[in-house]
Amino acid sequence: MGWWSDTGSVVDCCSWVGVSCDESGDRVVGLSIPGRGLRGSIPPSLHNLTSLSFLNLSSNFLSGPLSSFPDSNSSNLISLDLSYNRLSGSLPNTFPPSLRFLNLSSNLFTGPLSLELHINRLNGTLPPSLTNCTSLHLLNLRVNSLEGTLSDFDFSRFRQLTILDLGENHFSGLLPKSIFSCKSLTAIRLATNKLKGEVPPEVLQLPSLSFLSLSNNSLTNISQAFTILQTHQKLTTLILSKNFFNETLPPAAVSGFHNLKIMGLGGCKLYGQIPTWLTSLINLEVIDLSQNNINGTIPGWLQTLPNLFYLDLSNNSLSGGFPVELTRLPALASQQVLGHVNSSYLELPVFVAPQNASYLQYNQLATLPPALYLASNNLSGDIPVEVGNMQSIHTLDLSQNNFTGTIPASISNLTNLEKLDLSHNLLSGEIPDSLSSLNFLSSFNVAYNNLTGSIPTGRQFDTFSNQNYEGNAWLCGPPMQKSCSSSSQSPTTDSSGHKKGPNKKMIVGLILGICFGVGITLTCLAIWILSKRRILPRGDPEVFHMDIASFNSTSAGDVPKDTSGVILFPNNAKDIKHLTITDILKATEDFSQANIIGCGGFGLVYKATLANGTKLAVKKLSGDMGLIAREFKAEVEALSTAQHKNLVSLQGYCVHEGSQLLIYSYMENGSLDYWLHEKADGAARLDWPTRLKIAQGASCGLGYMHQPYNTHVTTELVGTLGYIPPEYSQSWIATLRGDIYSFGVVMLELLTGKRPMEVFRPKESRELVVWVQQLKREGKHDEIFDPILRGKGFEEEMLQVLDVACMCVNVNPVKRPGIDEVVDWLHNINVGSNSSNHRIPK
């Protein structure tokens, strides 16, 4: 019998030497057995000790790989000491994020090593001892506060290094030539530091380099940089934005860059004209020349770039008209591009900034949206009617120019269009009614033109505010405060003090628990809409598409002033007759940290216990004031009248001394995230029948919010990493199909037991959606499912839910099913019965 076995008998292991238990005596929290002559491999049964915090098996004779421990069940592990054994094989790619001490010294480990310490608060210089890690193949220290002269560090010993990411730190000095001794490098990111000097010719010593990002430094001599880099055969991504300030774009012929797909030169303040040598770069997919001083006209020969689907020429000094040739760009004029545009060839993720954001917010790109940005130039003339040929385009921004004539009705042919900005031009005539047929149009702005007539109504147009139309003296109808039947109304609107428009209805991500962790009962654990989860802004990342719009701060809207009390909704707050701000302060102990039960997109959620024992969940909004106002307004409007068993009930709200509070029903049992990923035995208690009920209930809640009278638009949406639909990466606009994607991710979470984004996992398994799709293509369906669910007889039902989830996360929004279809499919899956009559379409 091995040194550790499961005898199946009930024993008091807490009395054993080296075993520590919690106060209740039910859970093993520590295991310390050093120097006991233990032999064999580390037993897989260790993963059953889900509360284990400390493990010391050092100075024994243990052998074999670290293949099964630590794993996802080791979420409480703080200290792990396996030193002085005979363990072999490769080191695990990931360790539990709770781990604080790790000692694996004096073993027989081999193979490549990854060191990923990105997004922390590390400071100081790179330690010289790091060069002893000669087996490193990935070094990621991005987003820290590291400093020092980078060229003083010797990278030459990292012979196996393939990826180096030191972006968003405070390194200074010249580009270190020792980096170019690492012959295996395929990707380098040194963006957003304080580096200076020129790009050295030694970069050509890296034969496999495909990704190079040096953006946001103080590099000089762009002509030399291009002369050197153009001869590199493998380069696919070159991001040099925010360097070479006030230099001139190389006018001489560039004959290389034959494999280049992404070129980022935004924010350099470069002079010159759009260079003709771009015509030879036939593999280009993305060009960013924004925020420069480029003059001249937009050349029609851009249409000869067959793969170009993302072009940003905004914030320059371009003149002339909108070249009709742009409408013939093959990648924008073809619907077929939608299913193929992706950035899977990127060695490192690229980060971008959404336009018109009040502060920078970032999202890792899974796909790049077909887009054309010509904003903030001196373009004039008519918008060509041929613009309607760009059928795959998602974003069209022509704002801040001098375009005249009318808005082409042919724009209504752009059925995938999500954002259209024609503001601050000289356009006249009426807004074509046919634009109301654009089902995905989530952002529309024609402010400050010379438009006349009535504003179209119906569908998405019922959701736009008066700010999208202000500055047009003769526009009338909702949401403007000017009736089309009133000829005596003043034709002008004071933009600094515009009148109130009717409130826009906005879908809010408040279906139980994922957004703010208020919690749900076990039978309805996962009624979540994720469209309001957010990523906190961080640093100034590498940007190949700059935030170039004129930042007209978004109005907070018509948010109530101090309500001097709590406004209750009678239909929702049936058990509460009267509530004051004093009651809330007492119930939350003046918003004590001890009562925090969750974190929403714009604030913390507190548990409130009233004097009569009634419990509530109070969401206190915080952050950017304009965003808070919209969040508050949106949640009150969307959920005050919502009546559905699968939606958490908004009972009331309060505005007191500047604080905006939302009051919800309190759910006792915690959130889905807590049960799946944090509670020690939570996932084990969620068997497949329960998880299926969760998915079915969630779909009903989402279906209710997608009903026609619940108009769905939330502008400037920012999602939580892992749940964000690919198409949100540039538009940051909520759509119904975007909700379907996010719900698909939740279904995958239920099926796999994994979080949507595991930043500590290797690249190939970091994103849940990508990982699942890869295994599904390889026919490895069993590996997808949570080990807890396997072998329980529910494989057929799980496969059907997997099919539904994969259709929901299709990269092409048009190919995602509607919520009614999803509800129907899920409810035709019956646990334990033959569901073959209700097969899911492939």
Domains parsed from the chain with CATH numbers: 13-109 (3.80.10.10), 218-231+239-246+267-276+287-298+307-428 (3.80.10), 430-503 (3.80.10.10), 539-665 (3.30.200.20), 672-838 (1.10.510.10)
Least trusted range by pLDDT, from 92-96, 733-737, 770-774: 733-737
* SS3 category, 124: strand
Rounded to the nearest angstrom, the gap between the alpha carbon of residue 228 and the centroid of all alpha carbons in its chain is: 35
- Return the residue matching tokens 């009559």: 837
pLDDT (0 to 100) of residue 671: 66
Dmax (CA) for the chain in angstroms is: 96
Asked if residue 831 lies in contact with residue 696, where contact means CB atoms within 8 angstroms, the answer is no
* Separation of alpha carbons 272 and 384, rounded Å: 26
Asked if residue 219 lies in contact with residue 191, where contact means CB atoms within 8 angstroms, the answer is no
pLDDT tens by residue, 529-583: 333 332 223 333 343 332 222 222 223 333 344 444 677 665 555 567 678 888 8
* Separation of alpha carbons 273 and 436, rounded Å: 38
Is 620 annotated as a binding-site member? yes
Report which of residues 713 and 347 the model is more confident about. 347
Asked if residue 806 lies in contact with residue 744, where contact means CB atoms within 8 angstroms, the answer is yes
Asked if residue 86 lies in contact with residue 108, where contact means CB atoms within 8 angstroms, the answer is yes
| For residue 214, pLDDT beyond 80 | yes
Asked if residue 624 lies in contact with residue 359, where contact means CB atoms within 8 angstroms, the answer is yes
Q: Cα-flanking dihedrals φ and ψ of residue 336, to 5°?
A: -65, -20
Least trusted range by pLDDT, from 346-355, 361-370, 550-559: 550-559
Read off the tokens for 107: 């073993």
Asked if residue 340 lies in contact with residue 203, where contact means CB atoms within 8 angstroms, the answer is no
Average predicted confidence (pLDDT) for the chain: 76
Task: Tell me the average pLDDT across 245-269.
Answer: 89
Task: Tell me the average pLDDT across 218-246.
Answer: 93
Kind plus residue range of the DSSP H or E element containing 474? strand 474-476
pLDDT tens by residue, 74-95: 678 888 898 899 988 887 767 7
pLDDT (0 to 100) of residue 560: 43
Give the DSSP letter string of 31-95. EE-TTS--EEPPPGGGGG-TT--EEE--SSEEEE--SSSS-TT-TT--EEE--SSEEEEPPPS--
Least trusted range by pLDDT, from 120-124, 258-262, 620-624, 626-630: 626-630
- Closest alpha carbon to 331 in 360, 372, 295: 372
Least trusted range by pLDDT, from 145-149, 647-651, 715-719: 715-719
pLDDT tens by residue, 48-80: 788 888 889 998 999 988 766 666 566 788 888
Kind plus residue range of the DSSP H or E element containing 451? strand 450-454
pTM for the full model? 0.58
* SS3 category, 499: coil
* Separation of alpha carbons 673 and 694, rounded Å: 13
- Closest alpha carbon to 69 in 61, 50, 340: 50
